[in-house]
Amino acid sequence: NAGVTQTPKFRVLKTGQSMTLLCAQDMNHEYMYWYRQDPGMGLRLIHYSVGEGTTAKGEVPDGYNVSRLKKQNFLLGLESAAPSQTSVYFCASQWEGPQHFGDGTRLSIL
């Protein structure tokens, strides 16, 4: 039972490049979330999903897109990366109880 798995763990991009972060969970959770964590800012919600095929905007959605084609996977896309998107990205999944987090993806945009 792996819980929540995020890939990749680290990535360096140039401004304007695109990429997709993958989150996979094996707990059959309905709800999944993408957060970004910046120093002194806590965890801020980017997008979330309440089930397969559904997505919704969180607190800081601009510059990101998401898809939930399968219940176990939640993808976060950056279409044109900007230096302001340098951050640590965490995925989480949940069903009724607490949210369970992945190990994070450290993303640097040069």
Pairing of strands 10-13, 100-101: unpaired
Q: Does 67 bind other proteins (CB under 8 A)?
A: no
Q: Does 74 bind other proteins (CB under 8 A)?
A: no
Report the SS3 class of residue 70. coil
Q: Which is nearer to other proteins, 73 or 99 (CB)?
A: 99
Scanning 11-19, 20-28, 76-84, 101-109 for contacts with other proteins by CB under 8 A, the matching segment is 101-109
Q: Which is nearer to other proteins, 10 or 14 (CB)?
A: 10
Question: Residue 101 and residue 53: Cα distance in Å, rounded?
Answer: 21
Indicate the DSSP class of residue 17: -
Q: Which is nearer to other proteins, 56 or 110 (CB)?
A: 56
Indicate the DSSP class of residue 36: E
Question: Residue 56 and residue 97: Cα distance in Å, rounded?
Answer: 20
Identified binder of other proteins from the candidate list 41, 51, 53, 84, rule CB under 8 A: 41
Q: Does 104 bind other proteins (CB under 8 A)?
A: yes
